[in-house]
Chain A
Amino acid sequence: MNPSTDSSPASKARPVDPAQKIRHLSAEAQAAFRRFQSGGDPADLDPVIFAILESFVPRQPARPFVEQPGDARLVDDLRLDSIAIAEVVFFAEDLLEINISNAEIARVRTLDDLRGFIRQKVAARRAG
């Protein structure tokens, strides 16, 4: 197969191995992700989201993400730049098998926005 030209409908994006992908996240985040995989409760993704943000933020904030208020702004308060946000989106898409458009991510301003958005996306995927 020439991967650059093959457009067979049967060829779908191959999911990554989640365990391998999250091996650098904290033990707590990895455990939360396993709970999510087995139980399907999107609330279990919160520690995972915090850990993903922590792994891509250009400069670590004074307080860990888990202690940040829900209305903390991703760009202005937590200093995620456009590259870091693109990295977070890429990572989340790959891990959670979701697709996030530019317009959607542009509407996400705060930590609570992000948590709600991810929950909604994951729920929609599981429902669909």
Chain B
Amino acid sequence: MAAGTRNPRAAATPVVTGLGFITSIGNDRAAVLRSLRELRHGFEPVEFLGNPNVPVSVAGTVKGFAFPSPHGRDWVWPGAYAIEREVLRGLAPHGVYAFCALQQALADAGLAADELADGTTGLFCASTGSPFLLTHHVNQLYAARGERSDPMAILSSVAGTLNFNLAAHFRIAGAVCGFVSACASSSHALGYAMDEIQLGRQRRMLVVGAEDMNAESILPFAALRGLSTNPDPATASRPFDRRRDGFVGTGGAVALVVEDAALARARGAEIHAELAGWGQAGDGHSVAASHPDGAGLREAMRRALADAQVAAADVDYVSAHATSTPTGDRSEALALHAVFTGGARPRVSGTKALTGHGLSLAGALGAAFCVLAIREGFIPGAAHLEEPDPVCAGLDLPRVSLDEAPRVVLNNSSGFGGSNVCHVLRRAG
């Protein structure tokens, strides 16, 4: 039910009751909130693969974690999270991020682990997998001439590793699935999680997006000329700016607890925001580049608004996909112009100016930021924007975060192959 109007059978209202963050701009809700309000970025100079000649030298680093080798015994994570070897052996670096983020989200929602196993809770995840671990394991396979390989090679490194591991650890007996649509992956996970609630299939869904933060996950995008080569962390990611030259890579994890509002109210959980609708549409254009007019994103926004039964004029804030690539931001600006006509003029910003682009993680992370904006009553500013691209003329791009409480928010995301997904969130009534 991504497109068009809601299934008339639908009765349940999905709401967000828990959030967890492991990101370049903070490893808990309070730190992330502060960064979004004060427009503090999470970028640092990095030397990928120990090679100073790599033209990409800035990344959205995840502080407090270290993965210096492929072996879990060498990994470092914050001491607040206990990860038994039974769990660690199946995790990639982004699995560690995800485990921590999900622990936060469950605590935020006031849920204990033993409340997840009765079949009414499902788990939808999104990640690319771990090219870092996959490379290690395949090299081991080559070295052994195929005679042996690590038993955990597949479980820890392929796309799906998040749902394999988290579902087993948290004893999830409801719907379990992974989503792969590149940078729209976790947006798909959240959208279909909303459907699971609305269709009455599940009462609660855990949604997790995560990515490694390393050369293996990020640098291949340099070959597509997708990454910024700007060495200045303060300006490398500047969505909608005329001088933008690509995105800054990041990793981390986000976790959302999505519940039927009736269930949340019955157990006395705090409702952070309502998930009002979602929509998706393909560009039908290119394997990598976005449609030059933003056709798919435009349609995805319209479908999301229709699904939520919200008029464009009612949208207070758009959390743009806005990765800071020349073509992608232009396409999105054109799509926004097409959707928001007449008197509709929402605030628009792209938080990847602060976090970097987290690939599969990005869509759900953007949605979680929207939840924060609604819950805390503010609108994140368009960080690092100094010279708006002329194509943005007419868009309301606030240069600073605003103490304005948005009631209805639109969250955009786009992925390779022209996969566009949008969510509508609103203040719970």
Contacts and interface: CB of A to CB of B under 8 A. Distances in A.
Contacts of A94: 144, 148
Rank and list the top 8 A-B pairs by shortest CB-CB distance, nearest first: A58-B86, A86-B151, A3-B142, A13-B145, A13-B144, A14-B143, A24-B73, A13-B147
16 contacts: A13-B143, A13-B145, A14-B143, A14-B145, A24-B71, A24-B74, A56-B85, A57-B85, A58-B84, A58-B86, A59-B84, A59-B86, A84-B89, A87-B151, A90-B148, A90-B149
A89 B84 CA distance: 21
Contacts of B86: 58-59
B85 A59 contact: yes
Interface in A17-47: 24
Contact of B89 (A12, A13, A24, A87): A87
Interface in B320-375: none
Contacts of A84: 89
A3 B146 CA distance: 9
Contact of A83 (B74, B84, B89, B148): B89
B152 interface: yes
A11 interface: yes
Contacts of A112: none
Nearest to A100: B148
Interface in B69-92: 71, 73-74, 84-86, 89
Contacts of B149: 90
A6 to B, nearest CB: 9
A24 B69 CA distance: 12
B48 to A, nearest CB: 23
Given A3-B142, A13-B143, A16-B143, A58 B89 contact: yes
Given A11-B145, A13-B147, A83-B152, 13 more contacts: A13-B143, A14-B143, A24-B74, A55-B73, A56-B89, A57-B85, A58-B84, A58-B89, A59-B86, A83-B151, A87-B152, A90-B151, A94-B148
B84 A90 contact: no
Nearest to A4: B142
Contacts of A12: 145
A99 interface: yes
B114 interface: no
A113 interface: no
A99 to B, nearest CB: 7
Interface of B: 71, 73-74, 84-86, 89, 142-145, 147-152
A24 B72 CA distance: 11
A14 B149 CA distance: 13
Nearest to A14: B143
Interface string A77-114: 00000011011001001100001000000000000000
A11 B146 CA distance: 11
Contacts of A59: 84-86
Contacts of B74: 24
Contacts of B148: 90, 93-94
B147 A90 contact: no
Nearest to B155: A83
A55 B85 CA distance: 9
Most buried by A among B73, B84, B147, B151: B151
A4 B143 CA distance: 11
A58 B147 contact: no
A123 B55 CA distance: 53
Contacts of A4: 142
Nearest to A99: B147
A86 B149 CA distance: 10
A14 to B, nearest CB: 5
A14 B148 CA distance: 12
Contacts of A90: 148-151
A13 B89 CA distance: 25
A50 to B, nearest CB: 16
A59 B169 CA distance: 14
A58 B85 contact: yes
